[in-house]
C-alpha cells in the first residue's frame, strides 16, 4: 500500500460546467434544509460521545490531489494511526450513537461542504485513502480524472459493506483484494454510461436505500439505473446480505 499519490496530468475542464452548477445548487439547498438536523446531531454527538464532533481524513480527489473529507465522528478517539482503514460490522471503535449514524449514512452529511468547495460532486466514485490508490493503474487513472462524489453505483451495491467485511477473517485484506477491485469495475462501468438522467436516478436510489435495511442486489440496481438486462452481475458479492446474514466469505 502506498502512502503518497502521484498527480495525474492536469486536464482542461473548460471552465464552470452545468454539472458544477447543479452540485452547488443542490448542496447549498441540502445544507439549508438539513441545517437544524445537522446541528441537532452535532449537539447529540458532543453530549453523548464528547468532542470532537467532526472527523476528517485525507482522501484522493480529482487528478490525484489530496483533500480533507469531513464526516460526523462515529468512532472513539484513538491516539495511534495504526488502526485498520476499513470498518466492519461490530468494530469496537464505533460508538453506539456512531453505529446509528453509520447505518443511515447520516455521518456522511457534512460532505455536502466538500461538494460546495468543489472537492467532490454529488455523483462520482467514492474517494479512497491514499494507501489504497494506484494512480499508475489505467482504471484508477480514469476514475481520478472524473473526480470523486457523494454516491455512486458501487455505493448502492455495497450498501451493507460493513456486514460483508465482518464475514472475513481479515476485513482489510478482504476489502483491498475483493471489494475494492469490484467497486472500481462498477465505477468505471457507470462513468462510461453516465448521463444527467442516470445521475438523478442514482441520487434517488441512494436516498431510498439509505433508510432501508433490505438486501441489495447488483443486477436489480443496474437495471434500475441503466434499464434493460444488458449487464450480468459480477464480483465477489452479488447480493449484499442483511446484517444478520450467516454467510461466510471464502478465499
Q: What is the pLDDT of residues 217-232, one digit of tens each?
A: 899 999 999 986 444 4
H/E stretch holding 58 reads: strand 54-60
Residue 33 CA to residue 36 CA, distance in Å, equals 8
Buried b (16+ CB within 10 A) or exposed e, 174-190: bbbebbbebbbebbbbb
pTM: 0.82
Q: 182 near 165, Cβ under 8 Å? A: no
Predicted pLDDT at 186: 97
Bridge partners for 55 per DSSP = 71
Strands 216-217 and 66-72: unpaired
Q: What is the pLDDT of residues 126-136, one digit of tens each?
A: 999 999 999 89
Q: 225 near 201, Cβ under 8 Å? A: yes
Amino acid at each position: 500500500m502506498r502512502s503518497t499519490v502521484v498527480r495525474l496530468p492536469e486536464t482542461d475542464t473548460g471552465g464552470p460546467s452545468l454539472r458544477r452548477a447543479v452540485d452547488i445548487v443542490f448542496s447549498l439547498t441540502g445544507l439549508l434544509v438539513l441545517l437544524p438536523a445537522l446541528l441537532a446531531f452535532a449537539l447529540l454527538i458532543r453530549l453523548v460521545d464528547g468532542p470532537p464532533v467532526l472527523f476528517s481524513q485525507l482522501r484522493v480527489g480529482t487528478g490525484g490531489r489530496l483533500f480533507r473529507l469531513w464526516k460526523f465522528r462515529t468512532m472513539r478517539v484513538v491516539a495511534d494511526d495504526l488502526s485498520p482503514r476499513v470498518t466492519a460490522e461490530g468494530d469496537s471503535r464505533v460508538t453506539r450513537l456512531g453505529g446509528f449514524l453509520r447505518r443511515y449514512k447520516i455521518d456522511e452529511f457534512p460532505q455536502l461542504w466538500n461538494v460546495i468547495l468543489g472537492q467532490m460532486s454529488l455523483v462520482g466514485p467514492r474517494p479512497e485513502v491514499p494507501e489504497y490508490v494506484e494512480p499508475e493503474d489505467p482504471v484508477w487513472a480514469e476514475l481520478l480524472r472524473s473526480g470523486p462524489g457523494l454516491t455512486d453505483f458501487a455505493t448502492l451495491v455495497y450498501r451493507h459493506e460493513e456486514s460483508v467485511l465482518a464475514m472475513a477473517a481479515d476485513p482489510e485484506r478482504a476489502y483491498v483484494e475483493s471489494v475494492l477491485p469490484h467497486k472500481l469495475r462498477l465505477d468505471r462501468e457507470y462513468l462510461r454510461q453516465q448521463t444527467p438522467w442516470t445521475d438523478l436516478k442514482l441520487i434517488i436510489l441512494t436516498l431510498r436505500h439509505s433508510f432501508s435495511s433490505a438486501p441489495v442486489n447488483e443486477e436489480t440496481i443496474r437495471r434500475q439505473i441503466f434499464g434493460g438486462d444488458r449487464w450480468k452481475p459480477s464480483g465477489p458479492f452479488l447480493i449484499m446480505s442483511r446484517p444478520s446474514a450467516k454467510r461466510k466469505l471464502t478465499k
